[in-house]
Amino acid sequence: MKKILLTGALGQIGTELTEKLRDVYGVDNVVATDIRETDHPVVNNGHFELLDVTDANAMGEIAKKYQVDTIIHLAALLSATAEAKPLLAWNLNMGGLVNALEVSRELNCQFFTPSSIGAFGPDTPKNQTPQDTIQRPTTMYGVNKVAGELLCDYYHHKFGVDTRGLRFPGLISYVAPPGGGTTDYAVEIYYKAIENGAYTSYINKGTYMDMMYMPDALNAIVNLMEADPANLKHRNSFNVTAMSIEPEMVAAEIRKHIPSFTMDYNVDPVRQGIADSWPDSIDPTAATEEWGFKAEYDLAKMTQDMLTKLKSKLA
Ligand code: AKB
């Protein structure tokens, strides 16, 4: 039985992952942590501790107190915020990661942290980006993600820590909104479609990026963590994706449910520049072959579910 410590548990992934892990492994076997405390089921319905991930001692103390054997490290700044505050991003993203890896080494914990399509850059092959390819990102977030992938590999080779990771595309969810990402438009568009019947996109038409619906992302984390290590050739930072889409495709899918929906554009040069430096589509073959990755939701199925769930949430 796993006993799991999560950092960043009140973020976009953590909010839903905490609940899923409590379901799968039992409420008592999940310790959620975050730098803030709110009136939320993540805080109220199980173990919760305040934690600033840049405080290595505090992280170690919580891990020892609950005798955890797994650390899922999610606390990080996303791409657009990291670009606005590069030094903060370096200190938080890299400082938090190395602290979580050190605690994992010391306590012999299994370890997971997400990488991203942001780990690729303008020199990377743009279509069906291979698992192993050129990684020269031009954003601070990308620099953090490449350094993080290498650091996780290092902790595995050097210290034998059972590190695992996924290169996530944009994650779409109706539960907790993302914050400060480049792919956030693909979440906002659903909220605005229901609230206003209209959306102004900061990402230009024709800009393809990979995306995935949150239930597929959560399953991917659990399945990778449960995978037989003997089958893992890559271990850290597997490419995973469910769809390669651009804003007009999302709008057209929404119009099948809300025919009057309209969209216009007010392109944000910073986030557009980040998106332009990322792949149009990535190839998840290594994840499929090594641990059976499969996404259940395509754009049509995700849109149907998002609109249904959001309508009742916003009602
Ligand atoms: C972001 O847009 O920064 C994230 C990501 C793709 O890593 N959603």
- pLDDT tens-place string over residues 94-127: 999 999 999 999 999 999 999 999 999 999 999 9
Which amino acid does the sequence have at 287?
A
Q: What is the rounded average pLDDT of the residues 212-233?
A: 97
**What's the pLDDT at 177?**
86
Query: Is the Cβ atom of 182 under 6 angstroms away from ligand 1?
Result: yes
Structure tokens at 179: 């914050």
Q: How far apart are CA 140 and CA 144, in angstroms?
A: 6
Q: Whose CA is nearest to atom 1 of ligand 1?
A: 181
Torsion sign, CA atoms 140, 141, 147, 151: positive
**What's the pLDDT at 179?**
87
Q: What is the mean pLDDT of the chain?
A: 97
* Per-residue pLDDT band at 145 (split at 50, 70, 90): very high
Model confidence at 1: pLDDT above 70:
no
DSSP 28: G
**CA triplet 172, 279, 133: central angle to 5 degrees?**
120
**What's the pLDDT at 95?**
98
Residue 181, number of CB atoms within 10 A of its CB: 24
* Per-residue pLDDT band at 195 (split at 50, 70, 90): very high
User: Which is more confidently placed, 236 or 246?
Assistant: 246
Q: Which residues contact 80 (CB under 8 A, 6 or more apart)?
A: 180, 181, 182, 184, 270, 271, 274
Partners of 212 in the β-ladder: 171
Q: Whose CA is nearest to atom 8 of ligand 1?
A: 170
**What's the pLDDT at 2?**
87
CA nearest neighbour of 163 among 93, 75, 96, 102:
102
Q: Which residues contact 269 (CB under 8 A, 6 or more apart)?
A: none
Query: Is the Cβ atom of 142 under 6 angstroms away from ligand 1?
Result: no
CA of 173 to the centre of ligand 1 (A): 13
**What's the pLDDT at 178?**
81
**What's the pLDDT at 206?**
98
Strands (E) in the chain, as ranges, are: 4-7, 30-34, 47-50, 70-73, 110-112, 115-116, 163-164, 166-168, 170-172, 198-201, 209-213, 238-239, 243-245, 262-265
How large a percentage of the chain has pLDDT more than 70?
A: 100
Q: What is the rounded average pLDDT of the residues 57-64?
A: 98
Which atom of ligand 1 is the closest one to the Cα of 278? 6
How large a percentage of the chain has pLDDT more than 90?
A: 98
141 is an active site residue = yes
Q: How far apart are CA 78 and CA 75, in angstroms?
A: 10
**CA triplet 250, 253, 259: central angle to 5 degrees?**
120
Distance of CA 307 to the CA centre of its chain: 21
Q: Which residues contact 22 (CB under 8 A, 6 or more apart)?
A: 29, 30, 45, 46
CA of 259 to the centre of ligand 1 (A): 29
Q: How far apart are CA 187 and CA 296, in angstroms?
A: 18
Which atom of ligand 1 is the closest one to the Cα of 78? 3
